[in-house]
């Protein structure tokens, strides 16, 4: 009888342990199947659209340098010294201006020698189609730095001449806007202005600014 009680007690204990283990298993989620486990692995990162790169700025095309013409093609008037001599790398003289399918020679002439005790005088001559004309005459003070410069402005040319002044003298500037007359096949002075270095020059006579680097 005692053996039966012991056996029954053992059976009940085993049954109770199994019931407890079963209860614990109910609270746990079933282990994922191998295929599901692989699917649960880290998803690949979503591909972000490629950012648009800004277009590379193309360098501005350099304009061809002015070409020097034949000095013998510029006729001199009586008493003139000759064509002005510029430093190397400066403005060519005569200056070859290609416009309207034609080539025009522009010569800066020193009418008088640039001496401090003399009146400085200059002349701008043009030769087109074998015909020579005078476009401008100006005076300057040889005691100061003086200039006579041709600057392209679109299809036109700006010509500036005068002196920089000094010792309280503001200097003097003569400005000319040169334009090709296709009908007459010659260079015309479209605008002209004269003033001191302190005066405000007209809009057409302002030198175009160089592009920023």
The dotted CATH code for 67-205 is 2.40.128
Please tell me the predicted confidence (pLDDT) of residue 9: 41
Please tell me the predicted confidence (pLDDT) of residue 67: 79
Q: Using a cut of 0.75, tell me whether the model's pTM lies above it.
A: no
Please tell me the predicted confidence (pLDDT) of residue 207: 79
Q: Which of 43, 50, 114 is nearest to 82 (CA)?
A: 114
Q: Which residues of 8-17 are buried (b: 16+ CB within 10 A; e: fewer)?
A: eeeeeeeeee
Tokens of residue 58, six digits = 């193309």
Instruction: List the pLDDT tens digit at each of the 213 positions of the chain.
Output: 444 333 334 433 344 444 444 444 444 445 545 445 444 454 555 656 556 555 554 444 444 566 788 999 999 999 999 999 998 888 999 999 999 899 999 999 999 986 767 789 999 999 999 999 999 999 999 889 999 999 999 999 999 999 999 989 999 999 999 999 999 999 999 999 999 999 999 999 987 765 555
Domain positions in the chain: 67-205
Tokens of residue 97, six digits = 């201006």
């Amino acid at each position: 009888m005692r053996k039966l009680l012991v056996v029954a007690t053992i059976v009940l204990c085993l049954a109770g342990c199994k019931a407890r283990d079963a209860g614990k298993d109910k609270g746990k989620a079933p282990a994922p199947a191998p295929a599901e486990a692989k699917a649960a692995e880290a998803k690949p990162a979503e591909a972000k659209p490629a950012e648009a790169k800004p277009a590379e700025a193309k360098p501005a095309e350099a304009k061809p340098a002015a070409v020097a013409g034949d000095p013998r093609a510029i006729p001199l008037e009586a008493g003139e010294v000759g064509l002005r001599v510029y430093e190397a790398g400066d403005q060519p003289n005569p200056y070859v201006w290609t416009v309207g399918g034609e080539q025009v020679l522009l010569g800066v002439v020193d009418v008088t020698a640039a001496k401090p005790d003399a009146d400085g005088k200059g002349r701008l001559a043009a030769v087109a189609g074998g015909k020579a004309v005078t476009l401008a005459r100006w005076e300057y003070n040889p005691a100061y730095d003086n200039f006579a410069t041709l600057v392209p402005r679109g299809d036109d040319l700006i010509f500036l001449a005068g002196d920089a002044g000094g010792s309280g003298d503001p200097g003097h500037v003569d400005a000319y806007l040169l334009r090709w007359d296709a009908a007459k096949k010659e260079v015309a002075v479209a605008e002209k202005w004269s003033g001191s270095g302190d005066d405000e020059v007209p809009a057409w006579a302002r030198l175009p600014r160089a592009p920023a680097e």
